[in-house]
């Protein structure tokens, strides 16, 4: 396990796992982490902010936290109802 992951608080771990779960929900057709990383990178990639599939894999593995820009983009792709999970993570359908 990465040293930085060991030093994270439980809250930080939950937040990173929640973000990873959002990416899986956006692309339910993905059958592997590599395929999901490619799909997410393609969806988030812009000329101003390129996204590499390796970066996405780090997010999926909770090794790194995404920047706010990427968090907002993933929330937009996931749908408005996912915003409520930020306030009440227990409230899932």
User: How many other CB atoms sit within 10 Å of the CB of residue 60?
Assistant: 21
Q: Structural domain boundaries of the chain?
A: 21-86
Contact criterion met (CB below 8 Å) for 41 and 55 = yes
Alpha helices in 7-67 (DSSP H): 10-26, 33-44, 53-60
The one-digit pLDDT tens for each residue of the chain (93 residues) are 455 556 778 889 999 999 999 999 999 999 999 999 999 999 999 999 999 999 999 999 999 999 999 999 999 998 877 777 666 656 554
Query: What is the rounded radius of gyration, in angstroms, for the C-alpha atoms of the chain?
Result: 13
DSSP 3-state of 80:
helix
């Amino acid at each position: 396990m990465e040293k930085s992951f060991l030093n994270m608080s439980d809250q930080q771990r939950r937040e990173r796992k929640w973000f990873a779960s959002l990416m899986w929900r956006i692309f339910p057709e993905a059958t592997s982490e590599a395929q999901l990383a490619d799909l997410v990178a393609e969806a988030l990639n812009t000329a101003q902010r390129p996204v590499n599939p390796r970066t996405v894999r780090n997010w999926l593995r909770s090794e790194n936290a995404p920047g706010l820009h990427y968090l907002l983009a993933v929330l937009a792709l996931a749908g408005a109802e996912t915003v409520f999970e930020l306030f009440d993570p227990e409230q899932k359908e």
